[in-house]
Amino acid sequence: MFIHEDLYAQILQSMPIPCVDLVVTDHAGRILLLRRRNEPMAGQWWFPGGRVLFGEPRSQAAKRKLKEECGLSQGDAFEELGTFDWFFSFGEGQRVHSVTTLFKVIVDSMNDITLDQQSYEAHWDYPRDWLQTGLDPMMLEGIATVIIK
C-alpha cells in the first residue's frame, strides 16, 4: 500500500510503525545482511525487513519481505525471536519509532539473492564476524538474540 510522503511523515512523527526484520541464516550459521539505500539507516548493514501492512499477520509480512527484499521465496522454520522498540534519527530532525518483530529464517545460501530498490549490497558472514564490524547497536542486539537462542 502506498502512503503519500507528506502523510507518512506525519505518521512517523505521531506513532510507532509495526515492522518485521529477518535474521536470514544459512545452514552453515552465517547471517545475511543488506546495505540499505534508503533512510532510515542509509548506507548501513541491516536485516531485510520493513512495515507490516494493514490486516497482514506478522508471520506473513516476514515471508513477503524475504521475497521482496532478497528474492527468496523459500525459507525454513520462520522462528519468532522477540519484539523490540527500535528508534532511528536521520536527516533534519526525522525520528522513527519502530516496533519490530525479529524472525529467524534458514535459507540455502546457494540461492541467488535478488535485491530490491531498498538495498544495494548483500553479504553473508558469521555472527562473531558481524559483531566486530561496528554495526549499529540495534543490529548487535538482533544478532546477539540469535547467538543466545
If you average pLDDT over every residue of the chain, what do you get?
Answer: 90
What are the residues whose beta carbons fall under 8 Å from the beta carbon of 35, sequence distance 6 or more? 43, 44, 45, 46, 119, 120, 121, 122, 123
What's the structural domain count of the chain?
1
Residue 59 has pLDDT above 90, yes or no: yes
102 in Cβ contact with 142 (< 8 Å) = yes
Chain segment 24-39, per-residue pLDDT in tens: 999 999 999 999 998 8
Summarize the confidence of residues 50-66 as an average pLDDT. 95
Summarize the confidence of residues 13-17 as an average pLDDT. 89
Range of the domain at 111: 5-148
Summarize the confidence of residues 51-66 as an average pLDDT. 95
Residue 11 has pLDDT above 90, yes or no: no
At 1, the pLDDT band (50, 70, 90 cuts) reads low
CATH number for the domain harbouring residue 65? 3.90.79.10
Chain segment 92-141, per-residue pLDDT in tens: 777 889 999 999 999 987 778 999 999 999 999 999 999 999 899 999 99
88 in Cβ contact with 98 (< 8 Å) = yes
